[in-house]
């Protein structure tokens, strides 16, 4: 038998692959619109593609297990010492490192209702006990989270912005929360979507690292940076926590092609600016389109938006799929009547809105 925590888990359900949907529908892959996994719709940066091609020549060798060049570049870009970074095979990898390093069987881990699905996975995987605080207006309720702290709490996960709701926490509220958390409890501030955010009251967690030695900020190259398929992300924390994470990290957890691509895209300002702009415009387009269809959506500052179908989310998901449009059912996040759609290109967003409009007429 698997460990007790693992027995209660269901496998994470990723979005259906485009190739499979195309085969089932008898369509070309190019006819399928996948807006299911919060990816960058522009594809990877050309600079990253060129860097990957160069890196392939070195594949007989192990990667640099310390990620020296990438950490140096991140350090220079963000003004945080290189020894504060831990690279991961996606930021999911570093979320798991935190659980493995700090949560023992029976220890409690707090996160919010409707928060990112990987938090319960990494908690239960190490025998930890998930303590789920109720959400407020679909977002994190920090007072409710603080109220769940007990003698057994070891880690608190906060996603800012949160997936799948797109909700976010303001600087003052989050700082007051961090002030209230006892220092022996690790707070993970998951900033997977931070690079999309353009709000003056949105906090940059990196600026808090010196003030809170128990803070771990996680970020990823999967979203704005357009490298989801390569699996590369990182944690930033004080030297003490970073040292602990590095003790249990697999020696070569990040591959060399991913590190070279990440280095290249980190400096590709034109690509990053264009990605932000496409996302901001796409979000407006989806908001207007959904409202035009009479649907209620949750205001989002990420690269996705979640809307209320009024109850028939699975039916609508299936009918969209039949039309070659893949979105994300989020019943597993405790939101059975909502669907999440990622921001695509203008044309993809329009295809989604047209398909949704047709589906709503079909089932009316």
Complex with ligand PMP: residue 140 or 323, whichever CB lies closer: 140
- Could you tell me which of 188, 133, 178 has the C-alpha nearest to residue 157? 188
Among 41, 128, 166, 233, binds ligand PMP (CB under 6 A): 233
Exposed, middle or buried: residue 144 (CB in 10 Å: 0-12, 13-18, 19+)? middle
Q: Which of residues 61-90 bind ligand PMP (CB under 6 A)?
A: 90
Tokens of 73: 């570049």
Place of tokens 């699996």: 231
**Considering only residues 191-220, where is the footprint of ligand PMP by CB under 6 A?**
192, 220
Residue ranges in 19-38 that form contacts with ligand PMP under rule CB under 6 A: 38
Beta strands in the chain (DSSP E): 33-34, 85-88, 108-112, 129-133, 153-159, 186-190, 215-220, 233-237, 296-298, 304-308, 325-326, 328-329, 338-342
Is residue 260 within 8 Å of residue 127, measured between CB atoms? no
| Binding of residue 226 to ligand PMP (CB under 6 A) | no
Dist. CA 253–CA 64, nearest whole Å: 10
> Which lies closer to ligand PMP via its Cβ, residue 122 or residue 181?
122
Check if the beta carbon of residue 88 is closer than 8 Å to that of residue 253. Answer: yes
CA distance 98 to 186: 9
The binder of ligand PMP chosen from 39, 113, 190, 348 (CB under 6 A): 190
The 88-127 contact track toward ligand PMP, x by CB under 6 A, reads --xxx-----------------------x-----------
Inter-residue contact 262 to 221 (CB < 8 Å): yes
- Nearest residue to the partner ligand PMP, using Cβ: 90
Which of residues 91 and 349 has its CB atom nearest to ligand PMP in the complex? Answer: 91
**Farthest-apart Cα atoms in the chain, separation:** 59
**Window 251-280: contact mask with ligand PMP (x via CB under 6 A):** ------------------------------
**From the CB of 44, what's the least distance to ligand PMP, in Å?**
14
Our finding on whether 159 is near ligand PMP (CB under 6 A) is yes
CB of 223 to ligand PMP, least distance (A): 7
For ligand PMP (CB under 6 A), the number of binding residues is 13
Residues in contact with ligand PMP by CB under 6 A are 38, 90-92, 116, 159, 163, 190, 192, 220, 222, 228, 233
């Amino acid at each position: 038998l698997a460990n007790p925590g693992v027995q209660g888990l269901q496998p994470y359900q990723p979005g259906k692959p485009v190739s499979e949907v195309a085969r089932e529908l008898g369509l070309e892959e190019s006819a399928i619109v996948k807006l299911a996994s919060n990816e960058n719709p522009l594809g990877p940066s050309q600079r990253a593609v060129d860097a990957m091609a160069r890196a392939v020549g070195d594949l007989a060798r192990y990667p640099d297990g310390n990620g020296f060049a990438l950490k140096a570049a991140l350090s220079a870009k963000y003004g945080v010492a290189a020894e504060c970074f831990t690279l991961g095979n996606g930021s999911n990898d570093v979320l798991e490192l935190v659980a493995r390093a700090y949560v023992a069987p029976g220890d409690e881990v707090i996160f919010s209702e409707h928060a990112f699905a990987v938090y319960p996975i990494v908690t239960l995987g190490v025998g930890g006990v998930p303590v789920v605080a109720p959400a407020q207006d679909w977002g994190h309720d920090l007072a409710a989270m603080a109220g769940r702290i007990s003698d057994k709490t070891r880690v608190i996960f906060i996603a800012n912005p949160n997936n799948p709701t797109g909700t976010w926490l303001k600087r003052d509220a989050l700082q007051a929360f961090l002030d209230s958390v006892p220092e022996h409890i690790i707070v993970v501030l998951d900033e997977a979507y931070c690079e999309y955010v353009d709000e003056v009251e949105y906090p940059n967690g990196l600026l808090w690292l010196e003030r809170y030695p128990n803070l771990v900020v996680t970020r990823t190259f999967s979203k704005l940076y357009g490298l989801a398929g390569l699996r590369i992300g990182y944690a930033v924390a004080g030297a003490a926590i970073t040292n602990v994470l590095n003790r249990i990290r697999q020696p070569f957890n990040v591959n060399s092609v991913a590190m070279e691509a990440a280095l290249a895209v980190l400096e590709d300002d034109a690509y990053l600016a264009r990605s932000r702009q496409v996302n901001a415009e796409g979000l407006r387009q989806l908001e207007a389109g959904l409202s035009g269809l009479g649907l209620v959506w949750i205001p989002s500052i990420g690269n996705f938006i979640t809307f209320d179908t009024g109850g028939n989310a699975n039916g609508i998901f299936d009918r969209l799929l039949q039309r070659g449009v893949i979105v994300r059912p989020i019943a597993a996040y405790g939101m059975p009547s909502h669907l999440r759609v990622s921001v695509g290109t203008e044309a993809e967003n329009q295809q989604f809105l047209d398909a949704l409009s047709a589906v709503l007429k079909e089932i009316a």
